[in-house]
Structure 1
Amino acid sequence: MQIEAAETIAARALGWIAGQEGLLEIFHGATGAGLDDIKAQATSPEFLAAVLDFLLMDDAWVTGFCEAASLPYETLLRARAALPGGDLPHWT
């Protein structure tokens, strides 16, 4: 997946988080990002990676977002891998 597509998916995920009752507050608590931080960093690839990291913490959030966005469930992992810090080490 190209980084631009991953950023678009993450931005859509941020919008979905904001639209879910109480989830934005959980995001604030988990990340420490307030509304001003979100506004200032919403286009930063590193911040968008953190959005996907947050969403990937809960299967219900993954399925909820992917179903709302009509995306296959594995799309979030593919998008996360394309953003900074998403490459997994190979131990072999």
Structure 2
Amino acid sequence: MFRPKTQRLTEDRAEALALQVLAFVLADPKQISRFLALTGSTPDDLRTVASSRELQLATLDYLLSDEGLLLAFCQEAGIDPATIAPAHRLLAGPTEF
């Protein structure tokens, strides 16, 4: 069985992963309109805020909400699917109660 090489998850790596997911989603015309509708973004927003923390979190949320899409992305990118949720948590920062 293929085991992707794991890298230490850092904030920079999580941000890069979110941008990689965004590129993957935007490469699929069927996903673009759904992504825009669910995130409330416009194509212009994507150009100006692609590196914002909010869009990075929304992108990872979007991926985590669709197991088929998650698995397709991870297979294409050679990434362990178990990396996505920790990346999201890292970008979200500590939660206060």
Structure 1 runs of 4+ aligned residues shifted over 4 Å read 87-90
- 2:29 corresponds in structure 1 to 21
| Runs of 5+ unmatched residues, structure 2 | 1-8
Distance, in Å, in 2 between the alignment partners of 1:88 and 1:66 is 27
The structure 1 residue matched to 2:81, chosen from 73, 79, 90, is 73
One-letter identity of the residue aligned with 1:20: D
Distance, in Å, in 2 between the alignment partners of 1:74 and 1:14 is 18
Correspondence 1:59 to 2:86 = no
Aligned residues: 89
Correspondence 1:49 to 2:49 = no
Distance, in Å, in 1 between the alignment partners of 2:32 and 2:77 is 18
User: How far did residue 50 of structure 1 move?
Assistant: 0.8
SS of the counterpart of 2:41? coil
Distance, in Å, in 1 between the alignment partners of 2:17 and 2:37 is 22
SS of the counterpart of 2:81? coil
Distance, in Å, in 2 between the alignment partners of 1:45 and 1:70 is 24
Q: Normalising by structure 2, what TM-score?
A: 0.84
Distance, in Å, in 1 between the alignment partners of 2:46 and 2:83 is 23
SS of the counterpart of 1:43? coil
Larger radius of gyration: 2
Cα 1:59–1:89 change in 2 (3 A) is: farther
- 1:2 corresponds in structure 2 to 10
User: How far did residue 21 of structure 1 move?
Assistant: 3.1
Q: Is the 8 A contact 1:46 1:83 kept in 2?
A: no
